[in-house]
Amino acid sequence: LLVLPSLFGEAGGDQRLDLRELLALSVAAAEAGGRRVRAVHEAGPDLQQRTKGKTQEGAAELLTAGDLQSHRRMASLWASTFPGVRVISEEHDEAALDLSEPWDGKIPLEIQKLVPSGQTVSKDSVTVWIDPLDATQEYTEGLLTYVTTMVCVAIDGKPVIGVIHKPFSGFTAWALVGQGTNVSARESYNERSPQLIVSRSHAGTVRTFSQKAFGTSVNIIPAGGAGYKVLSLLNLNKAEQPDQADAYLHITFIKKWDICAGNAVLSALGGHMTTLDGKDIDYRDSPGNKEGLIASVGLDHLELVKKVNGLGRAR
């Protein structure tokens, strides 16, 4: 492990951020948040679950102590390490952030090997998206394999760093577009008749939609969590990732903290995550994405888009 003392105590003047440090902090934050998610579950059974609102489709949006504590830890790490960086988290917390436990500055060996240091970006170009607990619904149901914590760093609106961490297995997928990643795509995917992974709790009419796009015999795998569904497109063993799919399809509203990290991981592998009409998603601005989502790697993404575009989403 390498410690970077230069990281701390920099006076305000330096507005450049090192990409490798951003990646290592993203991993550290996702894992630290994951420890909170796990601790709350282990202390259970009371997750202090409550409803924070409703989705546009009328489903309850749940919040648990796991979401909140993970948010506090993840947001505090960012705030104490890179003050002033724009961070957008799914959760808010009026309580002051805890700046007493900053990032230790250690760059994991695996990252040191794959990503050279010294590449910097301007602080103003950065937007950090935090999902302190993806698949909250499934977390409350005890379906823990779906649960992830995610961090994404967008630069000028493009997803460049993605981290998806599974607190209950300890696995972390990370990627820095154009530089390195610890995950890979599978050798082949089924293009003619792709297995689609879709939401189990915010599906909308995705089943009918999929049949219109890919034929009535299309194979659909319902699963929780946007992070989990992206992992199902990768080359991971079955014990880690029970579901394996060829494409991820989502037709209802979704927020950018749910999808940015997965988008970065897929981009790093040469894959794509776009709206249903094939547009890239801009991660600079407002959190909502109303245009649906199709994600793939190792497939002709444009062909997929041709099948799902213009079908009328009936949301």
Binding positions for ligand A3P, rule: CB under 6 A: 55-57, 90, 131, 133-137, 199, 201-202, 224-226, 252-255, 258
Question: Of the two residues 194 and 225, which places its CB atom closer to Mg ion in the complex?
Answer: 225
Question: Of the two residues 81 and 296, which places its CB atom closer to ligand A3P in the complex?
Answer: 296
138 near Mg ion, rule: CB under 5 A: no
Among 31, 91, 134, 246, binds Mg ion (CB under 5 A): 134
Burial class (CB in 10 A: 0-12, 13-18, 19+), 108: middle
With left for phi above 0 and alpha for psi between -120 and 50, is residue 314 left, alpha or beta? left
Shortest reach from residue 133's CB to ligand A3P, in Å: 6
Question: Of the two residues 254 and 273, which places its CB atom closer to ligand A3P in the complex?
Answer: 254
Binding track over 264-303 against Mg ion, x by CB under 5 A: ----------------------------------------
Question: Of the two residues 21 and 134, which places its CB atom closer to Mg ion in the complex?
Answer: 134
Question: Of the two residues 57 and 303, which places its CB atom closer to ligand A3P in the complex?
Answer: 57
Question: Of the two residues 10 and 277, which places its CB atom closer to ligand A3P in the complex?
Answer: 277
Shortest reach from residue 169's CB to ligand A3P, in Å: 18
131 near Mg ion, rule: CB under 5 A: yes
Span from 36-44, 91-99, 159-167, 255-263 in contact with Mg ion (CB under 5 A): 255-263
Shortest reach from residue 1's CB to ligand A3P, in Å: 31
Beta bridge partners of 60: 54
Site for Mg ion (CB under 5 A): how many residues?
Answer: 3
91 near Mg ion, rule: CB under 5 A: no
Using CB under 5 A as the criterion, which residues of the chain lie in contact with Mg ion when the complex forms? 131, 134, 258
